[in-house]
Structure 1
Amino acid sequence: IYALGGQMAKTIDKTHIQMRMLNTGKGPAVRALRAQADKVLYQQEMKRVIEDEENLHIMQGMVDELIIEDNEVKGVRTNIGTEYLSKAVIITTGT
């Protein structure tokens, strides 16, 4: 939620088609704002923001293995043999 300066919230503000406050009849501790976004517009806006981010390089591929040296992760190797070396590797789920 806080990545890129709270960009998810900024993008939902731009692309929402419906917003509703939940639990308005209860105390403030349980109230929450629910938003529904236009899926295509949300994806397009987030893609634009990420691609325009300075010093962020997007690489895409299927990782087959971690490159480990001296018991430390040094990078990844993709299914087509491309190696990406880095100071940090972040493993996430995704499509």
Structure 2
Amino acid sequence: EADSAEEALATLEDASLDVDLFVSDVIMPGMDGPSWVTEALKARPGVKVVFVSGYAEDSIAEHQARIPNSVFLPKPFSLVELTSTVGEQLAAH
């Protein structure tokens, strides 16, 4: 867990940290979600991604097309919806 994109990237510098999935808002202060995820995937290319946003999915379609293994979950969502989406991403090949 990180409070910002920059903090997330710094945390990921720890090679002993095992990460299977990123859950990221699309719009954030500083670096946006698609930008930090693109950067993070350079070092961890197999990680799957769930983007969340209150904006329409087509607003990030351009970014999502360039980010492999990513899905979009619109806000608001329930804990059940989040859990289901995360589970589906982790189970996907």
Q: Which has the higher contact order (CA 8 A, sep 6+)?
A: 2
TM-score by length of 2: 0.23
* Larger relative helix fraction: 2
* Larger relative strand fraction: 1
TM-score by length of 1: 0.23
Indicate the structure (1 or 2) with the bigger Cα radius of gyration: 1
